[in-house]
Chain A
Amino acid sequence: MTRRTRSTAPAATTAASAPDTAPVLGLVRALRAAGLRADTTRALAFTDALAAVDAPARADRVYWAGRLTLCSTRAELDVYDACFAAYFGASPPAPRPALPVPARRRLTALLGPGGGEQGGDDGPEAHRPAAASGTEVLRTADLGLLGEEERAEAARLVSLIAADPPRRPARRTAPARRGRLDPRRTLAAAARTDGEPVRLSYRGRTDRPRKVVVLVDVSGSMAPYAEPLLRLAHVLVRGHPGATEVFSVGTRLTRLTRELSAADPARALRAAGAAVPDWRGGTRLGEELKEFLDLYGSRGAARGAVVLIASDGWERGDASLLGGQMARLSRLAHRIVWANPHKGQAGYRPRAAGMAAALPHIDDFVPGHSLEALQRLARAVARGRAEGGGARA
């Protein structure tokens, strides 16, 4: 209700033309060209809104009528402002304060890597008995430093990791031993016993599989770890069929879910290996993540999912892009688990620019360098639900 004085001057030029449909459609078309979803429903709402605010008489209201009906995210508002200015040759009436949206950060960022991890990374190493069995040693050995024979044995052991699929609460209830009283069944039973509710029946909340998305970095710096990680992805796909999606990232985004669905680990891995075009290439994590979100994530693959990203965070591209995409992902996903093999090394700090940019958006930051670490990783995925209540407050 303030500052109208400033806006009337430029807006006056639009007064004559705003109400008829041609400019309206023009603005909608311009917005679509700029990437907004301004669909027919929204366009119709826009024309309704124009009528409602009495646009012919009050051209200054066209801005708000359009903004309220045609936009649906904060990010779209700037595009809208630009299109509006370009189209009507008028600046939007009231400036929004140019406050940056605070990036969501969590305490993990402040604690630093390992600072908040329970158990600690070097725990098992420190307590390893002197005469450990061969398997025991293999369990904690860095997968990147294994010989040929040990590698094969490790691969076999990875496939034995039990993948407990994460669940999420569903809206439906089912008869259960505990929970809320089920009046329907209780009363039905009571009718059979002369109206006497001898046995009380209950209904409990059901749950459903939670989606899992696995993104495995197959770039050069991840070479020794990519194979065991894909094996783990295979375990997850097999243990959680229909709810797991696997992609490889590097310089290209490749969907590997179908390849990894084969029952035999060796066959699945061969198929996946053949499907990935960019083994041991570079990393463009930010762009890949954007592609994943554009193509799959925002269409539902990442919504409410546990997202596992296995990468060392060496980003060739602009790390700020990765940070932005991680923020986007964190708003879609239920939890983000990031496995970084280098985290298993003593004295590791997340110095890689990509890692530092991604860190604030990660819920579980775990190593992924040994069999034991992979097992912990599988558990972190299975946990699915944040301990102690809601996902992220």
Chain B
Amino acid sequence: MGAIGAPGTGPDDPETLAALLDDQGYLADDGAATACFLALRMQRPLFLEGDAGVGKTELARALAGVLGAPLIRLQCYEGIDASQALYDWDHPRQLLHLRAVQASSAAPGGAEELEAGMYDRRYLRARPLLRALEESAPGRPAVLLIDEIDRADDEFEAFLLEFLSDFAISVPELGTVRAAAPPAVVLTSNRTREVHDALKRRCLYHWTPHPSFEREAAIIARRRPEAAERLVREVAAAAQRLRDPAASGIDLLKPPGVAETIDWTAALTALGATALDPGAAARTLGALVKHRDDVDAVRDRLSALLNGGGADAAGAARAPGAEHAARTAARARP
């Protein structure tokens, strides 16, 4: 077991890291801050799962900002292969090299040297995984973001598993590239597919929830400082209700994430709104919900939604402690 503070890098405790993430414009809750802290300290990949638009990618970006390190992003898709993830030889330049040597007709060391010259590091184009290894330095790991791993297929997961355990890539013509210090790895998943357990076992798992009302309002205010405070709070309250079918009476196909509420606030502000009135809300609804049926459903119940969803006016302000205690009690019973 690593001694405390020895193996990894980064801040001394989760609270410091949360403050640093805050400086980067990311308001991390306890879970996110502890997750990032442990990922750095234990040098383990961080597996972030959550609905689209809750800020998973943003967290990786902020983490890179905290470390003053480059963010290297690998977007996954079905059928992604090594030449897109690892490296690729720059063939046109290799050919040029071949020709240049021929033209000068020097050929100093014969065929072997010619070949060695062709497979020089200069002709190797590093893709995200190789870049992450090369740009990581002790004390300043690069942040490798493997985005939407749920879109890749089984083979790629197996391959990643190998990469994440060795942090080495072998290039047959060059030899093995090893990281001076392992990069900080963040994997994200929208949970459209269950990722293999072997991969998860190697990672810290963090479920990224939608933010609470207070936090969401703070995030919006941070990202859209020009928006009126009243507007921000009303937008956040409406978003909280929309995500809770019981409170709003609307069961959306795709409830809005924080990204959407920020957009919505920006759209409302652009129209000069300082509070959430039905007219402006109806005109800007496209920034909040992106499904035709969702737009219709929300538009039908817009006034109820803005007035606090009728019965459950305190939906957003509901005391979290009381609710939580009730849930815990219910769970403890069996």
Which residues from chain A sit less than 8 Å from chain B, CB to CB?
1-4, 6, 37, 39, 41-42, 44-45, 47-49, 51-54, 58, 61, 64-65, 67-69, 71-74, 77-78, 81-82, 85-86, 91-102, 104-105, 110, 168-171, 173, 180-181, 183, 186-187, 190-191, 195, 197, 205, 298, 303-304, 331-332, 390-392
- Please state if A68 and B35 are interface contacts (CB–CB under 8 Å): yes
Interface flag for B201 (CB, 8 Å)? yes
With A52-B4, A65-B38, A102-B254 known as contacts, the answer to whether A298 contacts B321 (CB < 8 A) is no
Q: Which one of B129-137, B275-283, B303-311, B324-332 contacts A?
A: B324-332
- Please state if A93 and B209 are interface contacts (CB–CB under 8 Å): no
- Please state if B15 and A98 are interface contacts (CB–CB under 8 Å): no
How distant is B37 from chain A, measured CB to nearest CB, in Å?
7
- In the complex, 30 of the A-B residue pairs with CB atoms within 8 angstroms, ordered by the A residue number, are A1-B15, A39-B201, A41-B202, A45-B44, A47-B1, A49-B38, A49-B204, A51-B2, A51-B4, A52-B4, A53-B37, A61-B34, A67-B31, A69-B205, A72-B197, A74-B49, A74-B207, A91-B324, A92-B328, A95-B321, A96-B209, A97-B209, A97-B212, A99-B244, A101-B51, A102-B253, A170-B79, A181-B91, A187-B98, A303-B194
With A102-B255, A195-B102 known as contacts, the answer to whether A77 contacts B207 (CB < 8 A) is yes
Residues of A contacting B210 in the complex (Cβ-Cβ under 8 angstroms): 97, 99
| Nearest neighbor of B216 in chain A, beta-carbon distance | A97
Residues of B contacting A54 in the complex (Cβ-Cβ under 8 angstroms): 4, 13
Q: Which one of B57-65, B153-161, B223-231 contacts A?
A: B153-161
Residues of A contacting B209 in the complex (Cβ-Cβ under 8 angstroms): 96-97, 99
- Please state if B191 and A69 are interface contacts (CB–CB under 8 Å): no
With A52-B42, A110-B293 known as contacts, the answer to whether A74 contacts B244 (CB < 8 A) is no
Q: Which one of B66-74, B81-89, B175-183, B259-267 contacts A?
A: B81-89
- Please state if A82 and B1 are interface contacts (CB–CB under 8 Å): no
- Please state if B151 and A390 are interface contacts (CB–CB under 8 Å): yes
Residues of B contacting A73 in the complex (Cβ-Cβ under 8 angstroms): 49, 194, 205
Excluding A49-B38, A72-B200, 5 further A-B contacts by CB distance (< 8 Å) are: A39-B201, A41-B201, A52-B4, A58-B13, A93-B30
How distant is A47 from chain B, measured CB to nearest CB, in Å?
6
- Please state if B13 and A53 are interface contacts (CB–CB under 8 Å): yes
- Please state if B94 and A183 are interface contacts (CB–CB under 8 Å): yes
- Please state if B201 and A42 are interface contacts (CB–CB under 8 Å): yes
- Please state if A53 and B34 are interface contacts (CB–CB under 8 Å): yes
Scoring B residues 143 to 166 as 1 if CB is less than 8 Å from chain A, else 0, what string do you get?
Answer: 000000001011110010000000
Residues of B contacting A186 in the complex (Cβ-Cβ under 8 angstroms): 91
- Please state if B98 and A183 are interface contacts (CB–CB under 8 Å): no
Residues of B contacting A95 in the complex (Cβ-Cβ under 8 angstroms): 320-321, 323-324, 327
| Nearest neighbor of B31 in chain A, beta-carbon distance | A64
Interface flag for B206 (CB, 8 Å)? yes
| Nearest neighbor of B244 in chain A, beta-carbon distance | A99
- Please state if A195 and B81 are interface contacts (CB–CB under 8 Å): no
Q: How many residues of chain B get a CB closer than 8 Å to chain A's CBs? A: 83
| Nearest neighbor of B203 in chain A, beta-carbon distance | A72
With A82-B332, A169-B79, A195-B102 known as contacts, the answer to whether A68 contacts B38 (CB < 8 A) is yes
- Please state if A171 and B1 are interface contacts (CB–CB under 8 Å): no
- Please state if A37 and B153 are interface contacts (CB–CB under 8 Å): no
- Please state if B89 and A183 are interface contacts (CB–CB under 8 Å): yes
Q: A206–B212 Cα gap in the complex (Å)?
A: 47
- Please state if A51 and B1 are interface contacts (CB–CB under 8 Å): yes
Residues of A contacting B25 in the complex (Cβ-Cβ under 8 angstroms): none
Q: A309–B115 Cα gap in the complex (Å)?
A: 56
- Please state if A183 and B91 are interface contacts (CB–CB under 8 Å): yes
- Please state if B78 and A391 are interface contacts (CB–CB under 8 Å): yes
With A53-B38, A97-B209, A100-B245 known as contacts, the answer to whether A190 contacts B98 (CB < 8 A) is yes
- Please state if B328 and A85 are interface contacts (CB–CB under 8 Å): yes
Interface flag for B301 (CB, 8 Å)? no
How distant is B77 from chain A, measured CB to nearest CB, in Å?
7
Residues of B contacting A65 in the complex (Cβ-Cβ under 8 angstroms): 34, 38
| Nearest neighbor of A173 in chain B, beta-carbon distance | B81
Scoring B residues 229 to 270 as 1 if CB is less than 8 Å from chain A, else 0, what string do you get?
Answer: 000000000001001110000001111000000000000000
- Please state if B94 and A187 are interface contacts (CB–CB under 8 Å): yes
- Please state if A2 and B214 are interface contacts (CB–CB under 8 Å): yes
- Please state if A332 and B91 are interface contacts (CB–CB under 8 Å): no
| Nearest neighbor of B82 in chain A, beta-carbon distance | A171
Interface flag for B41 (CB, 8 Å)? yes
How distant is A39 from chain B, measured CB to nearest CB, in Å?
7
Interface flag for B95 (CB, 8 Å)? yes
Q: A239–B98 Cα gap in the complex (Å)?
A: 49
Residues of B contacting A195 in the complex (Cβ-Cβ under 8 angstroms): 98-99, 102
Per a CB cutoff under 8 Å, which of B15, B18, B78, B95 touches A169?
Answer: B78
Per CB-CB distance, the 3 closest pairs between chain A and chain B, nearest first, are: A95-B324, A169-B79, A64-B34
How distant is A133 from chain B, measured CB to nearest CB, in Å?
44
- Please state if A98 and B327 are interface contacts (CB–CB under 8 Å): yes
With A82-B332, A99-B209 known as contacts, the answer to whether A1 contacts B28 (CB < 8 A) is yes
How distant is A41 from chain B, measured CB to nearest CB, in Å?
5
